[in-house]
Structure 1
Amino acid sequence: MSYLSIEFGLLFIVFFALYWGCYRSPKIQNSLLLVASYLVVGSYSWQFSLILFIYTCVIYLFSVMIAASEHHAKRWLVLGLCVSIINLALFKYFDFFRYELQEFFNLLNLSVLLPAITVLIPIGISFYTFHSVSYLVSIKKKELAVAKFWDFALFLSFFPSIIAGPINRAKDFLPQINVAQPREILEPFRAFTLLILAVIKVYCLGGLISDHWVKPIFANPLEFSVIDLLVGLYAYAIQIYLNFSGYTDLVTGMALLLGFRLPINFNLPYLALNLREFWSRWHISLSSWIRDYIYIPLGGNRRGFIRTQINVILAMLLSGLWHGAGLNFIIWGACHGIGSIALNIGDRYLGKNWVTLRSPMVARLLTWHYVCFTWLFFYCENVSDALDYLVALVHNFLIEPQYAEAFGVISFIYFIYPMCKNFTEWFIMQLTKISLVFLPLVFIFILWLVIYIAPSGMPNFIYANF
């Protein structure tokens, strides 16, 4: 069930009323949240709920052993992390690696036939795996005491963020679950603003961009001009930003209405002046997680320049693989790794931020186009489709472009987008000036207008696939 569907909206209103009807007892609220979260996961498949519960029990057991062991805590931590990784690899990557390994055996003329097993990927497995890793590490570092089992179960399954993030840290989120004082709705005007922005971004703007530019151009790239193909890349970059940031706005607003705060996940990433800054603005909860739990444990930048670059490429390759079990995602991660290494080399031999200091506009243009180029591998399901698109970009100069559409997309990126920096705060301020009597009418009118303009069909959350 989509979080943007009318059915989910009505169910959330009923749940919201029941939830705050028990505001005097956070424990009852937690129980309601836990049941609702497992029902959401179970709405995709009851097996997914069962897998999540078994995984929760196993990881919780490891956390108890880590806390109880003075001399063997590190061993229990490593074992727990291995179980988490194996669980993720089994469900998400088994088929991919089976296929690649079988091809390797065939290349060597080895008569080895690996079993073909259809494995369903449990919804949200990437996110609750990362949540559990942060929990185990926090227990080992003594940043947290072992949580109550049902609090931990809610931490892994919290329905606003289990489908497509953001990634919660145990030390930040578990204290919000284990509270003694009654909760309260947090920043209601901000919450409703985020809900409205989510509907506009995902349901309206993202859907229109996808239908008018992304799908037609990517479906037949050889039939479009170079300018149109650039517009297709630009449009997809805008669509995935609107889709994912819109989803983040939606669940952040829902969490605020339930008395919880989720981490900030986006900060105008397409205004970044280099790839390093881009990753400090895009999917912040993931990039910071990779930094803290992969890049730094590998050695970070503490073991010399060459080792630093190796750590960078490994971290970005794992980031690509996390997004999906496919060669295209590995290439996408490799492109960002190579770009980051090139940036580090430039900083070392030309001076830090050499381009940015001389021309911020050129730095932004270079970063924007490089990110758009990498999105090509993110969108295309296989490498051959991406190569077809690149071939068309090199050869289709004689095809007449659609200048009006190109102007519209380019204007959004270079003129409209930078003006949105303070839009959320401005919109919240306008809402506070409206009488509470008329405020529901304003929300209803905006939602009606969005639904009227938006294309038919229910939009999919792109990151729910990862």
Structure 2
Amino acid sequence: MSYLSIEFGLIFVVFFAIYWAVRVLPKFQNKLLLISSYLIVGSYSLQFAIILFIYTCSIYFISVMITSSQNHAKRWLILGLVASITNLAIFKYFDFFRYELQSLCNFLNLPILLPVVTVLIPIGISFYTFHSVSYLVSIKKRELPLANFWDFALFLAFFPSIIAGPINRAKTFLPQIAVSQPRDILDPFRAFTLIILAVIKVYCLGGLISENWVTPIFSNPLEYSVIDLLVGLYAYAMQIYLNFSGYTDLVTGIALLLGFRLPINFNFPYLASNLREFWERWHISLSHWIRDYIYIPLGGSRCGFVRTQINVMLAMLLSGLWHGAGINFIIWGACHGIGIVFLNILDRYLGRGWIAQRSPIIARLLTWHYVCFTWLFFFCESFADALDYLNALCHNFTVQPHYIGALISICVVFLIYPICKNIPTWCAVQLSRINSIYLPVFFVLILWLTIYLAPSGVPNFIYANF
């Protein structure tokens, strides 16, 4: 069930009323949230809900052993991490690695035929795996006590963030679950602002960009000119940002209405003046997770300049692989790794921020174009498709582009983009000035107008695939 569907909206209104009717019973609210979360997961497949519950029981058992086995806590932690990653690898990467291993066996003329097994990827598996890793590490470090089983189950299954993030940390989110005092709706005007912005971003703007520019250009790039192909890349960069940040806005708003705070996941990433800054602004919960649980354990920047660059490459390659089991995602991660390594080399020999200090706009333009180039591998289903696009980009120098107006529009948006960072705060202030009697009418009117202007159909959340 899409969180942008009318059905979900109506069900949520009923759930919201029941949820706050038992405000004085936060434990009962937790049970309502847990049941609702499993129903949503089960709406995709009953098997997904069963897999989630079995996984929850297994990880919780390991966390109990970590806290009770002082002499063997590290071994239990390693077992838990291996179990988490193995579970993710089996469901998410089995087909990919089977195909690659079979190709290698055929190349080496080995008479080995690997079994073909259809493995469905459980919804949200990447996110609840990362949640569980943060929990096990926090338990081992004694950053929080052993959680109640049902609180832990809700932590993994919490429906606003299980589908496509953001990634919650156990030490900050579990205390919000294990409260004994009645909850309150948090920042209601900001919550409604985020929900309205989410619908506009995903339903209207993202849908129109995809329908008019991204889909037709990427479907057959050989038919388009260089300018058209640049528009396609720029448009997809805008679409994925609007889609994913819109989803984050939506679930953050929903969580605030339920009395929970989710971590900030986007901070205007296309204002970044280099790739490092881009990853400090884009999918922040993921980039920080990779930093804390992969990059730093590998040695971070503590083992010399060369080793640091190796760690950067490994972290970014794993980031690419996390997004999908395909060579294009690995190339995408490698491109970001190479870009950050190159930036680190420039900083080492020319000084940190050498380009940005001399011309911030040039630094931002260079970063924007490099990020747009990498999105090509992220979007295309195969490496051959990406090569076709690159080939057309290098050869189709026609003089009659179809989307010159679109290119001008994108350039204008790029220039005024810095002003947009004040829009959420401004909108929340304006909403707070509206009489509460008229606020629901205004809210419904905005939603109706947005849906009316948007393309037909309920848009998908791109990151729900990862």
- Normalised by the length of structure 2, the TM-score is 0.99
2:399 & 2:442 partners in 1: Cα distance?
46
2:153 & 2:240 partners in 1: Cα distance?
30
Superposition pairs of residues 188-337 of structure 1, within 5 angstroms: 188-337=188-337
Unaligned runs of 5+ in 1: none
- 1:414, distance to aligned residue in structure 2 (A): 2.2
**Residue type at the aligned position of 1:120:** L
**Residue type at the aligned position of 1:439:** L
2:316 & 2:111 partners in 1: Cα distance?
35
Partner of 1:412: 413
1:155 & 1:68 partners in 2: Cα distance?
21
Partner of 2:113: 113
Give yes or no for the alignment of 1:351 onto 2:351. Answer: yes
2:89 & 2:270 partners in 1: Cα distance?
32
Contact map agreement 1:231 1:410 (CA 8 A) in 2? no
2:443 & 2:331 partners in 1: Cα distance?
43
1:25 & 1:441 partners in 2: Cα distance?
31
1:213 & 1:184 partners in 2: Cα distance?
43
CA deviation map 1:165-210 (0-9, x unaligned): 0000000000000001000100100000000000000000000000
**Residue type at the aligned position of 1:52:** L
Partner of 1:166: 166
Contact map agreement 1:131 1:167 (CA 8 A) in 2? yes
CA deviation map 1:357-381 (0-9, x unaligned): 1110110000000000000000000
Structure 1 runs, 4 residues or longer, greater than 6 Å off = none
**Residue type at the aligned position of 1:364:** R
**Residue type at the aligned position of 1:99:** Y
Superposition pairs of residues 341-420 of structure 1, within 5 angstroms: 341-401=341-401, 402-415=403-416, 417-420=417-420
**Residue type at the aligned position of 1:41:** V
1:448 & 1:376 partners in 2: Cα distance?
34
Query: Quick check: 392-401 or 49-58, which moved more?
Result: 392-401
C-alpha RMSD of the superposition? 0.6
- 1:160, distance to aligned residue in structure 2 (A): 0.3
Superposition pairs of residues 42-61 of structure 1, within 5 angstroms: 42-61=42-61
> Aligned with 2:281: secondary structure?
coil
Superposition pairs of residues 70-219 of structure 1, within 5 angstroms: 70-219=70-219
2:205 & 2:414 partners in 1: Cα distance?
14
**Residue type at the aligned position of 2:226:** V
Partner of 1:24: 24
Unaligned runs of 5+ in 2: none
> Aligned with 1:421: secondary structure?
helix
Contact map agreement 1:318 1:333 (CA 8 A) in 2? yes
- 1:285, distance to aligned residue in structure 2 (A): 0.2
- 1:324, distance to aligned residue in structure 2 (A): 0.3
- Normalised by the length of structure 1, the TM-score is 0.99
- 1:399, distance to aligned residue in structure 2 (A): 4.5
1:200 & 1:352 partners in 2: Cα distance?
38
CA deviation map 1:257-292 (0-9, x unaligned): 000000000000000000000000000000000000
> Aligned with 1:183: secondary structure?
coil
- 1:48, distance to aligned residue in structure 2 (A): 0.2
2:404 & 2:381 partners in 1: Cα distance?
28
1:300 & 1:352 partners in 2: Cα distance?
18
Identity %: 75
